[in-house]
Structure 1
Amino acid sequence: MDWFIDTPYFGILISIVMFEIGLYINKKTKIPVLHPLLISIGLIIGILLAFDISLETYEKGGNMISFFLGPVTVTLAVPLYKKIDLLKKHTKPILIGIIVGVFTSILSVVGLTKLFGYEDEMIYSLIPKSITTPIGIEVSESIGGIPSITVVSIIVTGIIGAIVAPFVCKIFRIEDKVAKGIAIGTSSHAVGTSKAMEMGETEGAMSGLAIGLAGLLTAVIVPILLIVLD
């Protein structure tokens, strides 16, 4: 058994199996907070601790899954292509919405962390919380953050976004499909986009667009903004 644990197959297999279990629990209970990703993370941590398996051993396969995050994000262009006419029709409000969302995300993190006296390294780690993981890690490293903390903040943000998005739209009576998609994608990247796709094809397409643009804008804006705010 030890030989299998030391191979990349262990990390890959345990990740897939635990996520499937999380998916099953989520579908059976229909409780929003029991998100498949959250459940699978908890189960994997529990197994590693129970059997005294190091994180490095798990990451031999876990990192291989992470490698595919970039290509998977690119596939979100498919539903967007199907809605290209809608994009052309609403180009201006879509761009304004994404830009406002990016600035709101960055400034809220900087403002709240400064208010509670966080150290700069922690602030820089939390700033990319609303963008997709591959871009978020690069942004965090470039500005002096801690990538591991950035990844955790991105995952938590995505899960929270996926859980609360339908309720927020309902409470504030947001019925426009384009607005829903842009808001979800800008604030909670790919995990939120999975919920947007469940809400509808238009919501999913717009959310996928927001992921890419929000990531690019954040990568460009953050270094400049930090200089201005310093």
Structure 2
Amino acid sequence: MEQIFSNPLYCLPLTIGIYLLSVKFYAWVRIRIFHPLAITIALLIIMLIVTKTDYEVYKQGSYLINFLLGPSVVALGYVLYEQSEHLKGRVLSILTTVFIGAFVGIISAAGIAYLMGADKAIAASMGPRSVTTPIAIVLSEQNGGIPALTAVVVVVAGILGGLIGPPIFKLLKIDSRIARGLALGASAHGVGTSVAIQLGAVEGALGGLAIGIMGIWTSLLLPVFQYIIKLL
């Protein structure tokens, strides 16, 4: 079985096939906890455990998916370009909003973890939870975190944000397309932006913008937070 998971010719179609089946299943049941990404991850984990395949073997076979994470985020720039008129007169408010989101994201994860007695490495791993996976892993490494743990936290945060975001908008009667897009992109990065795109073109564009700005603000704020932690 390791030959199947280590060979991109087999591993990539298998992974994509599982995801497409998960999308079909989600469209059928329409229950938010059965998000396609969550189902895909669960099924892949079960398959790796049952076949006794090391994750590094699977990572080798699916490297192209990991590589495309970066370009996929950049591709959102085209969607943003199409909706650029919505940025006029709102640049300062958008930057300020995402800055607050980055600050709250770090404090609500790394800060609480540290106050509850978590190891500094664990706290550092939690800090980048609100940014997209490629950026989060790099920030985790640079600030003494555990990249593997960070990746898990980021995925969980993305799925939860994507699941509970729309119901919260409805509950709080948040109708602003810009606010919804920024909120999903800033709190749930890639998964949130995929949900934002389903809500509308404006929401998707602002979600993609929020991913980039959140990465910048978090990369600036996280070292400051780590420096303060070292002084304590």
TM-score range, shorter chain: over 0.9
1:95 is aligned to 2:95: yes
Residue 89 of structure 1 deviates from its aligned partner by 2.7
How far off its partner does 1:9 sit? Answer: 2.4
What are the superposed Cα offsets for residues 158-193 of structure 1, whole Å, 9 maximum, x if unpaired? 000110000111111111110111111111101100
**Alignment RMSD:** 1.4
Report the Cα offset of residue 3 of structure 1.
Answer: 4.4
> How many Å apart are 1:4 and its aligned residue?
3.9
Deviations 1:91-130 (A, max 9, x none): 1221111011000101111331123211101000111011
- Corresponding letter in the other structure for 1:36: P
Equivalent in the alignment of 1:123: 123
Q: 1:194 to 1:4 in 2, by over 3 A?
A: same
The corresponding residue for 2:202 is: 202
Distance 1:7 1:227 in 2: 43
| SS class of match (1:22) | helix
Give the unaligned 5+ runs of structure 1: none
Letter in 2 for 1:28: W
Q: Using the TM superposition, give the Cα deviation of residue 10 of structure 1 relative to its aligned residue in structure 2, in angstroms.
A: 3.0
Deviations 1:26-48 (A, max 9, x none): 10001111110100011111111
Which residue does 1:105 correspond to in 2? 105
State the shift of 1:14 in Å. Answer: 2.1
- Structure 2 portions without partners, runs of 5+: none
Q: 1:103 to 1:131 in 2, by over 3 A?
A: same
Decide whether the 8 Å contact of 2:178 with 2:206 is kept in 1: yes
Percentage identity across paired residues of the two chains? 35
Separation of aligned partners in 2, 1:213 and 1:186:
8
> Which residue type is aligned with residue 124 of structure 1?
A
User: How many equivalent pairs are there?
Assistant: 230
Which residue is 1:226 aligned to? 226
Contact 2:133 2:151 in 1 (8 A): yes
Task: Say if 1:138 and 1:5 are closer, same or farther in 2 by CA, change over 3 A.
Answer: closer
How far did residue 2 of structure 1 move?
Answer: 6.3
- CA–CA distance in structure 1, aligned partners of residues 185 and 2 of structure 2: 41
Determine helix, strand or coil for the equivalent of 1:144.
coil
Distance in 1 (CA, whole Å) between partners of 2:26 and 2:171 is: 23
Deviation at 1:8, TM superposition (A): 2.4
Aligned-partner residue type, residue 145 of structure 1: G
- 1:46 lines up with 2:15 in the alignment: no
Check whether the contact 1:189–1:211 (CA below 8 A) recurs between aligned residues: yes
1:28-177 to structure 2, matched below 5 A, reads: 28-177=28-177
Which residue identity lines up with residue 210 of structure 1 in the other structure? Answer: A
1:97 and 1:3 map into 2 onto residues whose CA distance is 48
Q: Deviation per CA, 1:129-169, whole angstroms, max 9, x where unpaired? A: 11001110110000000000000000000000110000111
Distance in 1, Cα, partners of 2:137 & 2:102: 16
Q: CA distance change for structure 1 residues 28 and 226 in 2, over 3 Å: closer, same or farther?
A: same
User: How many Å apart are 1:62 and its aligned residue?
Assistant: 2.0
Higher mean C-alpha deviation, range 123-132 or range 50-59:
50-59
Letter in 2 for 1:131: V
> Partner amino acid for 1:214?
M
| TM score, norm. by length of structure 2 | 0.95
Q: For 2:193 and 2:105, how far apart are their aligned partners in 1?
A: 17
